[in-house]
Amino acid sequence: MISIFSDLLEDALWAQRIAYRTSLGMSPYLIVFDKACHLPLKIEHRAYWLHELEELRLEAYENSRIYKEKGKHFHDSRILRKEFKVGQKVLLFCSRFSLIVGKLHSRWDGPFVITNIFSYGAVEVRDEANDRTFKVNGHQLKPYHEGPNLSSN
């Protein structure tokens, strides 16, 4: 039974080594041995490979850097920047309920009123119910939109 797994592991590792990587722009086998390999062959190391290997590694590093930059640019383009003003009403994300989640339970507490905005995203908010102030991260806030007043006549 163990010999079967060792054979399968060897095949799986071989497939991993010769598979094309999008982030590198080439396979790891190509980076190490400077040639594409599709079949398992005995490889004789040659001295002239060392000179070209460094260039190939630099190219793979550059491809990886470009891939990461594109991913970062895509991620940053999808982020919505939140602009808050002093006196604005906001809702605070309630992280206490991360373990006990109900379908109909709101994850947002509030409304709170912004009293001060600090650098690096920190915001001081005041709870109108008990007039208590505290600092929170600005990423945990979202604007509070008051709905129409539904008072019965």
pLDDT at 41: 45
Tokens of 130: 């008990």
Q: Where on the phi/psi map is residue 78: left (φ > 0), alpha (ψ -120 to 50), or beta?
A: alpha
List the domains of the chain with CATH numbers. 2-78 (no CATH), 89-143 (2.30.30)
Residue 46 pLDDT exceeds 70: no
| Matching residue, tokens 């309630």 | 94
Q: What is the pLDDT of residues 1-35, one digit of tens each?
A: 566 777 778 777 767 776 766 677 777 777 777 77
Q: How confident is the model at residue 99 (pLDDT cuts 50, 70, 90)?
A: low
Whether the CB-CB separation of 112 and 132 falls below 8 Å is answered with no
Is pLDDT of 38 > 80? no
